[in-house]
Amino acid sequence: MLADLRFALRTALKRPGFVATVCGTLALGVATVTSMFAFVNSILLNPLPYPKPDELVQICDYDRKAGKASALVGIPDVMDWKAQAKAFLDLAYYRSGICVLTGLGDPEPLTAIRVSDGFFFGVADPSVDWAMV
């Protein structure tokens, strides 16, 4: 076995470009597999960080004229649903959009998500009805 290792080392020293290519390919493969595992583990294998993730549902509005469901729901509708909901423990709202950050430099457009106070299950300040995060 020691003779085989010496032979492999001599051969590797004769072809350093080939060894660098093999090492780079192996490193790229290991990095790809590691990142894919991290993604799959965090998104698919771990449960959501909520007390009962299997009880979460997404509801949407149904447009009878168009004959299809619409994910765009107005805040007054959500507030009415929340006041009348008997089948849900709580009802939260979110909507993403573009806002403009102004200050000392040039204005910059940012993607923001507007959420209701129940979105984080009691984490948000209950005195604030809607917050920009």
Contact 100, 110 (CB under 8 A): yes
* Residue among 120, 116, 118 nearest 132 (CA): 116
∠71-76-80 over CA atoms, to 5°? 95
133 pLDDT tier (thresholds 50, 70, 90)? very low
pLDDT of the residue at 6 = 93
pLDDT of the residue at 33 = 96
Task: Please write the tens of the pLDDT for every residue from 30-70.
Answer: 999 999 999 888 878 876 666 777 777 777 888 788 888 87
Q: What's the residue count for the chain? A: 133
pLDDT of the residue at 26 = 96
73 pLDDT tier (thresholds 50, 70, 90)? confident
pLDDT at residue 132 tops 50? no
Total-model pTM: 0.44
